[in-house]
Structure 1
Amino acid sequence: TISNSVDEMMIPPMTKRTRHCNEENEDKFSDLPDCVLIHILSFLNTKNAVGTCILSTRWKHLWKRIPTLTLHCSDFSTLRSFDKFVSSILSLRDDSIVLHSLDFDRNGSVESRLLKKVANYVFSHNVKLRRLGIDVKGDICHILPCISSCQTLTSLKLSVSPKGRYNYEKTLFPKSLNLPMLTYLHLGNFAFCAGGDGPIEPFSAFNRLNGLVIDNCTVKDTQILCISSETLVSLTMRNHSFDFYRIELSAPSLCTFAFIGTPYQMLCGRHLNAIKQVNIDAEMLANYTEPPMILLSWLIDLANIKSLTVSASTLQVLSLIPDFLKDKLSFLRSLKSLKVKLKPLAYGLSMTLKTDKLEKALKAGSELSSPIPDGIVDFLLQNSPSTDVDIADCSRFDDSFDQLPPISSSLFPQFLQPSSQEHVMDDLHQRIQQLKKVVLLTKQYLHLAKEEITRERDELLALKGHMMRLSKTLDALEQQMHMAMNLWQ
């Protein structure tokens, strides 16, 4: 039966020691009413919540009455076991219990049958649904009706990618999404499409929006994305694409801006000076020979910020701007707090920096410079010398940059994504030239690294693996070019 299949997946064999421990601990919970126990279980992911049914007969069916469902494939060893678990949970859960929250996250292309089952369950249990999260590779038409019907939603996290292992297209964002109670919106892998000649304004209908996250999204048929909201307080962006477009901010209440990735989008608007807190974790792709000047323009335009949190990689990108430290800029005059966080560099920026600095170090007979470029902190504080400075040595970011899930620093899928340009041949030629620069850069670093006696052998082996991937990616692009030429003829 379905019930037995869930038990087999979730309930490990109970040893004598386990029984003994359960008997000792049972009295600690025996006086608590069911509503309290269910409230405690609602903070667990659904897999762990179901697992509590081994504690005693009283706990056997408590999980069926939990008002939250957190279904993440990362909690399972295989996608097949995850799909089976999800289907069983939706069948066995007590239908009389109101659903307050559902979070469904599955890697890889999801079967339409399972996606429809999740969507139909949301549609039939949406009377008091407050939070909804769906992160899948599938057809948005299966889930859009259920989202539109959730008029009580206050939080929506939606990431929908087209099916296919090598499909890097974006899903078109729906234009008629009416969610009157929504205060938090997190969108991933969407393309905002213009309906006419004017700019795109996809968020103007959300009259209560307080927090917005735009995660690897782009624009289509225009170069302007307008973020218009009277209530928006926090804006977070992550970008690892080649797309350049302008973001016009019309958000008088906006006070916090966070960015992760490669800064290639211009910020403009009369409300930039209202932003008081900025968090930036910038990178630079290895195929770009020049650092993005947009990063510097952000710091200049965000004139009234009081708190700035940056990663060491952000400072490294700034340091690559020619003669950057020689300029005297009228910026950051109101700064009260500067926090620098150290973390491992992404592959693209690491290759650029290592080649440049290792070559200089070998010539000068000196060691590599520190993670924070010399003089750059003082440069940022030139107009606010009394600013409090905090340098945190950490392997990953904590509160300031945890608003988004981790992302791979691999640049290879970016090269192989379908061309969005009208002139496909020109686009493919440009990508091939860019990738050849990466290959030359990596080869140069490998040659230099062999001359440095302190270079670890494991790093050289890892870089040789990168070279193999670079070569395969270059071969794939050249095959695309060859096929395109044949079609053109």
Structure 2
Amino acid sequence: MPDKNEMRGMSNFLEESVIREKINRRRPNEDDRYKENGENVDRLSDLPDDVLLHVLSFLNTQHVVQTCVLSTRWKYLWKLIPTLILHSSSFSTKKHFARFLSKILTLRDSLAKLHTLDFVHHGDIESRLLKKILSGVSSHNTHLQKIGINVRVDTCIILSCVSSCRALTSLKLSLYPKSCYNFSETLFPNSLNFPELTSLDLTNFVFCGGGNGCVAPFLAFNKLNSLIIHRCTVRDAQILHISSETLVNLTMHDNSFNIGKIELSTPNLHIFTFRGIPGQLMYGSGLSSVKLVSIDALMYSNDRIPPLVLFTWLLEFANLKSLTVSSTTLQVLSLIPDLLEVEHLSLCNLKSMEIKLQSSYLLGLSDVLKEAMVKKVAAKSRKEATKLRKAFDKGLQPPFIPDGIVDFLLQNSPSAKVNITTIY
């Protein structure tokens, strides 16, 4: 049984996290109960602990704690929860979030195994509090299976702690320097070894190459199924090599790779998703196995030469079944000179295409399109070009879907279904 000090702490905890945050307390009502021999029976509370804990594992930890006011059956159940979902955005102030964290880490049953940690903190975090969280992680390093950390802090202490969790199946790290004026990135350690890891999601990391001009940061993950690389870069290498016999899903978003090639040795790759400025040639065994592709391509306004590799990507996806593209992707493709005159031999097995309409103002792509359209019209008629320029000056915008570009992509799969959606 808990002692008086613990009960007093629990009382303060409820006052701060439940009452202060003004969250409604919900007790079982007639809808939650069944009649048995003329009396109300709470079927939910009669379920075994492991079933209730599994259900609670899908809730934000703040909401899990609220269940302690339902009845004596639920009073201490939250202490055994194997999942901690802790997001600072759920609290009105950082101070309230820090108090909640401190209480959770103090009052939680130290013998209860922790399997999942999902921790997101926007802005600076106190070193004392962070160390307390990481201490909890280290104490459960043999049981932890899923870790997600999004924080602005000294990254070395995070990586040192995470590296000890050898049982991980899922790892999501979004690490940022403490100062917004510090543009340093986190080096991805080659020493990481997670033999059971199936899902890896990285934001703001640097992959450093060796003496052979190639960097292969994921070779140690023999069971990797899903890989997400977001806002990462490569240093001291010309080729990013992604090699995995088990990789099925690859996502690359807003990376600033200053390299020329990406080599995919991924024979079972099924889904490829890309967002950003296409600047690298892609080749290897992974491209022919891809069935689902989603591309949201952009280009800077000062890049007068469109990224030709975007078209080469489409040529490499020999067995593609489904293609999702943003309207900006089609606009970038339309900037490639004489593209519509090319008879390409790809996309022969395409069954469906989805086009997502979105604004081309980002990065000034709209201005590049206007200039290209005026130049094309001027080659036939200067008068019409002047007319078009004046229309642009008055607010006319380039079409979301350039003329002829969809027919060009579907020339080898004319029966493919086309669906257009709006996301702007």
Q: TM-score range by the shorter chain?
A: 0.7 to 0.9
- Displacement of 1:242: 6.9
Structure 1 residues 59 and 21: CA distance shift in structure 2, 3 A:
closer
Shift of 1:366: 10
Q: Does 1:282 align with 2:297?
A: yes
- Deviation of residue 244 (structure 1)? 3.9
Show the counterpart of 2:243.
228
**Does residue 1:11 correspond to 2:18, yes or no?**
yes
**Could you tell me which of 82, 90, 95 is aligned with 1:67?**
82
**Partner residue of 2:190?**
175
Name the one with the larger helix percent: 1
Q: Secondary structure, in 3 states, of the residue corresponding to 1:104? A: strand
Give the Cα separation in 1 of the matches to 2:321 and 2:182.
42
Q: Is residue 2:398 matched to residue 1:389?
A: no
| Deviation (angstroms), 1:22 | 4.7
Deviation at 1:106, TM superposition (A): 1.6
Letter in 1 for 2:180: R
User: Aligned partners of 2:415, 2:253: CA distance in 1, in Å?
Assistant: 31
Q: Determine the structure 1 residue equivalent to 2:3.
A: none
Q: How big is each residue's C-alpha offset from its partner over 1:358-397, in whole Å with a ceiling of 9 and x where there is no partner?
A: 98374499964542222211110011112122223345xx
Q: Distance in 2 between matches of 1:78 and 1:286?
A: 40
1:351, distance to aligned residue in structure 2 (A): 4.3
Q: Tell me the equivalent position of 1:102.
A: 117
1:174-229 CA-partner distances (Å, limit 9, x unpaired):
11001111111111111011233341111111111111111111111112111111
The structure 1 residue matched to 2:48, chosen from 33, 39, 56, is: 33
2:228 is the alignment partner of 1:213: yes
Change in 2 beyond 3 A, CA 1:153/1:20: closer
- Pick which of 269-278 and 210-219 moved more: 269-278
User: 2:410 & 2:256 partners in 1: Cα distance?
Assistant: 31
Q: Which runs of 5+ in 2 are unaligned?
A: 1-7, 34-41, 375-386
d(CA) in 2 for partners of 1:246, 1:301: 14
Distance 1:152 1:327, change over 3 A: same
Bigger Cα displacement from structure 2, 18-27 vs 115-124: 18-27
Query: Where do residues 40-55 of structure 1 align in structure 2 (5 Å cutoff)?
Result: 40-55=55-70
**Could you say what secondary structure the match of 1:136 adopts?**
strand
> How many residues are matched?
393
Q: TM-score, normalised by structure 2?
A: 0.84
**AA at the equivalent of 1:360:** L
CA contact 2:27–2:70 (8 Å) conserved in 1: no
Corresponding residue for residue 113 of structure 1: 128
Corresponding residue number in structure 2 for 1:304 = 319
Partner of 2:400: 371
- Which residue in the other structure is 1:360 paired with? 388
The separation in 1 between residues aligned to 2:26 and 2:127, in whole angstroms, is 45
Q: Is the 8 A contact 1:287 1:348 kept in 2?
A: no
In structure 2, the partner of 1:327 is 342
Contact map agreement 1:108 1:165 (CA 8 A) in 2 = no
Counterpart CA distance in 2 for 1:350 and 1:254 is 31
Contact 2:17–2:100, Cα closer than 8 Å, also in 1: no
Deviation digits for residues 49-76 of structure 1 (CA, Å, limit 9, x no counterpart): 2233333343332221111011112222
| 8 Å Cα contact 1:115-1:143 kept in structure 2 | no
Paired residues for 1:53-452 under 5 Å: 53-241=68-256, 243-345=258-360, 347-349=362-364, 351-352=366-367, 356=371, 360=388, 362-363=390-391, 368-395=397-424
Tell me, what secondary structure is at the counterpart of 1:102? strand
Aligned residue in 2 for 1:431: none
- Counterpart of 1:384, as a letter, is S
Distance in 2 between residues matched to 1:124 and 1:77, nearest whole Å: 30
Worse overlay, 184-193 or 247-256 = 247-256
Contact 2:237-2:259 at 8 Å conserved across structures: no
CA spacing shift, 1:52–1:21, aligned 2, 3 Å: closer
193 and 240 in structure 1: CA distance in 2 versus 1, 3 angstrom threshold = closer
Instruction: Return the letter of the residue paired with 2:306.
Output: P
Contact conserved, 2:230 with 2:255, CA < 8 A, in 1?
no
**Alignment deviations for residues 278-306 of structure 1 (CA, whole Å, 9 cap, x no partner):** 11122233443443222222112222212
SS in 2 for 1:273: coil
| TM-score of the pair, normalised by structure 1 | 0.73
Percent identical: 51
**382-391 or 316-325, which moves further after superposition?**
316-325
Off by >6 Å, runs of 4+ in structure 1:
18-21
Which has more strand, going by share of residues? 2
Specify whether residues 188 and 346 from structure 1 end up closer, same or farther in structure 2 by C-alpha distance, changes over 3 A only. farther
Residue segments in structure 1 that go unaligned for 5+ positions in a row: 396-489
Mapping 1:451-470, distance limit 5 Å: none
Contact 1:361–1:368 (Cα < 8 Å) also in 2: no
Q: Which moved more, 1:331-340 or 1:318-327?
A: 318-327
Q: Secondary structure at the match of 2:331?
A: helix
CA distance in 2, matches of 1:13, 1:132: 29
Question: 1:115–1:142: 8 Å Cα contact kept in structure 2?
Answer: no
* Cα gap change, 1:114 to 1:290, in 2 (>3 Å): farther
Distance in 2, Cα, partners of 1:14 & 1:208: 42
